[in-house]
């Protein structure tokens, strides 16, 4: 697993714009090198702000959107049209405005979808999809995602892996149903640590003073059961993108804004 790199920006708007620009460059480079790329999306205010910045970027069309595989790190298990769905927010922010290939967009099932109101069945189906898309060189039942975007909560959750929850202890399954989440909606579907750590690069983006304790604990080496974001690491790179407030409890090495 990779070590953590930290970039600190003066505010959330600048962070979102910089992350979007960095993402364009990375996807273009990947497509030039191997013909296609894969990206795992996240929800939350910062995650959606990055997609909105990407939508408005002058460099947006440098990406060949038809050669991009899109997945989600987690999803709120609500009906398809619910405004809480990460998929709906991502489509409104970006995906409805770029020429993605619908066959290469892989949302998690909603609660009114083909698996009905059964989050375990929906999670198992997504695990099966990941396994079907994995290649022999991935050496796992999950594709080696090129870039995975993740956020985090003030108590340290990432994706929908909450502290001390069953998902935080999962070591085998790639996708699980999550119930009784302390943050609504209570039922979700989430990638697990084994799937997250299959990503080549994990980018953790967050803003706000309320995240500062979790950021500091994770970067200080906290256990992943207590602070799940500490367990989110990429094979080749783990990149933290923070605003000054979220980085406020880090050591002086990280306090000076890079931008």
Give per-residue pLDDT as tens, 226-256: 999 999 999 999 999 999 999 999 976 654 4
Lowest mean pLDDT among 13-27, 47-61, 241-255: 241-255
* Number of neighbouring beta carbons within 10 Å of residue 249: 18
Query: What number of CA atoms fall less than 13 Å from residue 12's CA on the CB side?
Result: 16
**Cα gap 154→134, rounded to integer Å:** 33
Burial class from Cβ neighbours inside 10 Å (0-12, 13-18, 19+) for residue 182 reads exposed
Q: Is the pLDDT of residue 102 over 90?
A: yes
pLDDT at 254: 56
pLDDT at 2: 80
Q: What is the CATH number of domain 4-255?
A: 3.40.50.1360
**Where are the domains positioned within the chain?**
4-255
Distance, in Å, from the CA atom of 19 to the CA atom of 179, rounded to the nearest integer, reads 31
pTM, full prediction:
0.95
Which run of H or E residues covers position 212?
A: helix 212-219
pLDDT of residue 238: 98
Calculate what percentage of the chain has a pLDDT beyond 90.
95
Do residues 122 and 109 lie in contact, with contact meaning Cβ atoms separated by under 8 Å?
A: yes
Supply the mean pLDDT for the chain. Answer: 96
Q: How far apart are the first and last CA of the chain?
A: 27
Per-residue pLDDT of 117-140, as tens digits, reads 999 999 999 999 999 999 999 999
1 — pLDDT class (breaks 50, 70, 90): confident
Mean pLDDT score, 44-69: 97
**Contact assessment for residue 246 and residue 6, using Cβ atoms and an 8 Å cutoff:** no
């Amino acid at each position: 697993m990779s070590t953590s790199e930290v970039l600190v920006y003066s505010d959330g708007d600048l962070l979102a714009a910089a992350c979007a620009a960095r993402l364009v460059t990375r996807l273009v480079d990947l497509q030039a090198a191997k013909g296609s790329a894969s990206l795992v999306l996240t929800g939350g205010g910062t995650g959606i702000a990055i997609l909105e910045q990407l939508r408005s970027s002058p460099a947006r069309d440098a990406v060949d959107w038809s050669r991009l595989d899109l997945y989600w790190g987690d999803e709120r298990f609500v009906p398809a049209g619910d405004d809480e769905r990460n998929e709906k927010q991502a489509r409104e922010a970006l995906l409805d405005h770029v020429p993605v290939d619908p066959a290469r967009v892989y949302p998690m099932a909603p609660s009114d979808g083909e698996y009905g109101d059964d989050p375990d069945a929906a999670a198992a189906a997504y695990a099966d999809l990941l396994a079907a898309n994995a290649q022999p060189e991935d050496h796992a039942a999950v594709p080696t995602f090129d870039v995975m975007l993740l956020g985090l909560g003030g108590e340290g959750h990432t994706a929908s892996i909450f502290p001390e929850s069953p998902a935080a202890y999962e070591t085998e399954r790639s996708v699980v149903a999550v119930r009784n989440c302390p943050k609504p909606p209570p039922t979700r579907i989430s990638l697990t640590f084994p799937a997250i750590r299959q990503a080549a690069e994990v980018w953790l983006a967050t803003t706000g003073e309320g995240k500062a304790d979790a950021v500091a604990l994770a970067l200080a080496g906290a256990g992943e059961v207590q602070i799940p974001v500490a367990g989110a690491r990429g094979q080749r790179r783990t990149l933290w993108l923070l605003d000054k407030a979220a980085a406020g409890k880090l050591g002086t090495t990280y306090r000076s804004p890079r931008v």
